[in-house]
């Protein structure tokens, strides 16, 4: 009988210490598919070497605002890697799935890489688009997603708004008029950045796509540099797409440790390298210098300084009844 219990105990211990199969869900915004496909494979390899466990990361992509709402409504993300801090704030505030100070948990405002908004135009730039003023000209057709649902669209909107403020001595009325003219040129609003890329590049609509820098580069790779070209305006916005562990979901799934490491590893040399290769501006200065040729020099305004942070920007511009609702007539 004693032997029997020894065998049972040994079997139980063997079971408990054997390699685990871990599943993570990364709920992200639209244009990060390629980045995280590559990064997930690298992280899985790293984690297996470190712990022996197999980790499989599932990805979910869509407009950042829509993705945040999905998590609030119960999509059980272990981590979120969204387009802007406001969307993760919403998860924290409305669903209480992570603490309010989540952004202090990782370096650089929990933003392992940055980006900005650029113009993607058709080869030869037939409309001669060089700066924001060209985008609002009559007869220029602009493709950009809906800022109500897309994080990239909100960055694009604010970049244009910042330009208008700067060129109009911070006259808010003039800036609103500028942004109104811009959206008058938008024939169709997609819900996310990837949808707008499809609209512009595949469906052949519009003269210019207001795009994430990485998405614009990806479009060149995907649809051919002989069809499109990237125009970087002299002024744009510093876009910080943050990342966070969704604490309560991760706790429930027993994935807190691996989820935290999944995000930490984005700051590693390998993580930064993958980000840079996918045309995100890495935080690591050495790696950023190595990939400097991929990124044009541009004056970047900061949302905190220009718009008082995301909470204020959201309230003023994108909340129901905000500036966007006032200026945009579908």
Partner 1 sequence: MTENLEQKMKIKTKLKQLTLATAIGTQFAMSALAAEAQATNSTSAEEIAILKREIQVLEQKVDSLEQRQNQSPQSGQIEALDQKVRVLEREREIDQDAAVTATKAQPKLLLGGNGFVMSSADSNFVAQLHGVLQFDSRTFFQDGGLNGNDGFLLRRARPIFTGTVFHDFDFNFTPDFGGSTVQIVDAYLNYRNRPELQLEAGKFKSPIGLEHLVADKDLLFNERSLATDLVPNRDLGVALHGDLFGGAASYALGVFNGGTDYNGTTVNTSFQDDKSFAGRVFFQPWKKSDANVLRGLGFGVGGSYMANHPQTNSSTGLTPGYTTDGQQKFFAYNSGVNANGAGWRFSPQAYYYYGPLGLLGEYVVSDQQVASATSSADLQNTAWEVTGSWVLTGEDASYNGVTPRHPFDPRNGQWGAWQLVARFAELNVDSKAFTDGFASSAKSADGANAWSVGLNWYLNKNLRADLSFSHTEFGGFTGKAAPGTVPAQSENVLFSRVQLAF
Interface contacts to partner 1, rule CB under 8 A: 8, 11-12, 15-16, 73-75, 141, 187-188, 190-191, 195, 199, 203-206, 252, 254
Residue 310, H or E segment: helix 309-313
Minimum Å distance from CB 114 to partner 1? 29
Q: Which is nearer to partner 1, 192 or 241 (CB)?
A: 192
Minimum Å distance from CB 60 to partner 1? 13
Minimum Å distance from CB 65 to partner 1? 14
Q: Which is nearer to partner 1, 15 or 169 (CB)?
A: 15
Q: Which is nearer to partner 1, 5 or 293 (CB)?
A: 5
Minimum Å distance from CB 199 to partner 1? 5
Query: Do 142 and 199 touch, CB atoms closer than 8 A?
Result: no
Q: Which is nearer to partner 1, 42 or 188 (CB)?
A: 188
Q: What is the largest CA-CA distance in the chain?
A: 89
Alpha carbons 156 and 162: distance in angstroms, whole number? 10
Question: In residues, how long is the chain?
Answer: 330
Q: Which is nearer to partner 1, 116 or 191 (CB)?
A: 191
E-assigned strand segments in 52-137: 54-62, 79-81, 113-114, 117-122
Residue 209, H or E segment: strand 208-212
Closest CA to 65 of 94, 108, 104, 102: 94
Look at the block and give the residue holding tokens 């579908």.
330
Per DSSP, the residues of 157-200 read HHHHHHHHHHHTTT-HHHHHHHHHHHHHT-----SSHHHHHIII
Q: Which is nearer to partner 1, 9 or 292 (CB)?
A: 9
Minimum Å distance from CB 291 to partner 1? 34
Alpha carbons 214 and 128: distance in angstroms, whole number? 22
Closest CA to 195 of 164, 155, 150: 150
Two tokens at 179? Answer: 């942004």
Two tokens at 149? Answer: 């649902």
Minimum Å distance from CB 188 to partner 1? 5
Minimum Å distance from CB 192 to partner 1? 10
Q: Which is nearer to partner 1, 14 or 289 (CB)?
A: 14
């Amino acid at each position: 009988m004693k032997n029997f219990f020894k065998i049972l105990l040994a079997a139980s211990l063997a079971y408990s210490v054997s390699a685990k199969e871990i599943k993570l869900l990364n709920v992200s915004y639209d244009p990060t598919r390629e980045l995280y496909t590559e990064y997930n494979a690298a992280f899985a390899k790293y984690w297996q070497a470190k712990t022996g466990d197999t980790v499989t990361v599932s990805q979910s992509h869509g407009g950042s605002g829509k993705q945040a709402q999905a998590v609030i409504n119960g999509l059980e993300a272990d981590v979120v890697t969204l387009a802007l801090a406001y969307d993760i704030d919403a998860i924290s505030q409305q669903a209480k799935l992570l603490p309010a100070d989540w952004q202090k948990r990782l370096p650089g405002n929990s933003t392992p890489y940055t980006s900005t908004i650029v113009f993607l135009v058709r080869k030869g730039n037939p409309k001669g688009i060089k700066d924001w003023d060209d985008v609002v000209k009559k007869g220029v057709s602009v493709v950009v997603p809906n800022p109500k649902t897309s994080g990239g669209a909100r960055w694009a909107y604010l970049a244009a708004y910042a330009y208008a403020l700067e060129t109009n001595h911070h006259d808010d009325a003039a800036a609103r008029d500028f942004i109104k003219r811009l959206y008058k040129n938008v024939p169709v609003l997609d819900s996310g950045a990837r949808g707008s890329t499809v609209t512009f590049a595949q469906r052949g609509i519009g003269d210019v796509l207001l795009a994430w820098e990485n998405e614009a580069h990806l479009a060149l790779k995907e649809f051919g540099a002989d069809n499109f070209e990237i125009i970087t305006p002299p002024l744009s916005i510093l876009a910080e797409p943050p990342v966070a562990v969704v604490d309560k979901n991760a706790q429930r799934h027993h994935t807190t440790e691996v989820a935290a490491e999944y995000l930490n590893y984005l700051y590693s040399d390998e993580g930064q390298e993958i980000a840079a290769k996918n045309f995100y501006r890495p935080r690591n200065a050495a790696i950023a210098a190595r990939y400097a040729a991929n990124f044009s020099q541009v004056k970047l305004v900061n949302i905190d300084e220009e718009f008082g942070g995301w909470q204020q920007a959201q309230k003023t511009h994108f909340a129901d009844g905000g500036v966007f609702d006032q200026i945009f007539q579908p």
